[in-house]
Amino acid sequence: MLTKRIIPCLDVRDGRTVKGVNFTNLRDMGCPVELGLMYESQGADELMFLDITASVEGRAAMLEFVERVADTLSIPFTVGGGVSSRENVTDLLNAGADKVSMNTAAVNRPELINEVSTQFGSQCCVVAIDARKKDTGDGWEVLIKGGRETTGLDALAWAEECAKRGAGEILLTSWNRDGMQNGFDLEMVKAFSESLPIPVIASGGAANPESFVEVFQKAGADAALAASIFHDKLYSIADVKEAVKSAGISVRD
């Protein structure tokens, strides 16, 4: 069995970690570098830093911040937000990021996925998909610009296209569950995990350590990401890993 990954997510705005519900009503959660160090010490496998206003403001992610993170942390980290060109990816990787996540720009110009995976390798090419249940109840649609705009794109079909274009993994966030702490969207994660040939990172709705057990056992996620339960110190990375290991699921110590 492949080892499952536990990934804290830090949404960053104006150099601070923030967290909300359904991408709104943001609360200040502290310094992202300090939080990153704390999560590393707790045993996080990777970290995800998302500059949540970069796409809306039409700018690239903050390189000085990425350099600070790279100088401080020893575990792999992914940076997303405002990544819209190969030049952006080059800058972020040179600043120390291990992977780069694309969302809005990839939807607007899918060829960007091909370009990044070809030049830098699929291993560092993450496509983030913010998905919301369709009004019809049949499947999910893609949202962009931090959940502010609908696209009409079928999320699963888009994920399949991303994989064909060279994406190394999909960061799948349930808009309906984001910040709600009522569990991952197992139906959605299962549908994506079973359909895609690349790893799926489940995001949105983690409530407790058992949520991680469920998304691994019942939905087949390769990794699971959370923010609120870690930022609010409801549970630690160690709590989650202990529960996952107790369920017979392979995780790193």
The model's pLDDT over 215-252, given as tens digits with 9 standing for 90+, comes to: 999 999 999 999 889 988 999 999 999 999 999 999 99
Q: Could you count the other beta carbons within 10 Å of the beta carbon of residue 14?
A: 9
Token reading at 198: 């690349």
The 10s digit of each residue's pLDDT in 55-95 is 556 555 678 889 999 999 999 999 998 899 999 999 999 99
Look up residue 29 and give its amino acid.
Answer: M
Q: Percent of the chain scored above 90 by pLDDT? A: 72
- 50: pLDDT strictly greater than 90: no
pTM above 0.75, yes or no: yes
246 Cβ neighbours under 8 A, 6+ residues apart? none
Which pairs with CB-CB distance under 8 Å and at least 24 residues apart come from 152-155?
A: 153/107, 155/129, 155/131
Query: Which CATH fold would you assign to the domain 5-246?
Result: TIM Barrel (3.20.20)
For residue 161, the model assigns a pLDDT of: 98
**Which DSSP symbol is given to 198?**
S
| Torsion sign, CA atoms 63, 66, 72, 76 | negative
Q: Which tokens sit at 89?
A: 């990816």
Helix (H/G/I), strand (E/B), else coil: 32: helix
> Which residues are annotated as catalytic?
11, 130
- Average pLDDT of the chain is 91
pLDDT attached to residue 55: 59
**Residue type at position 240:** V
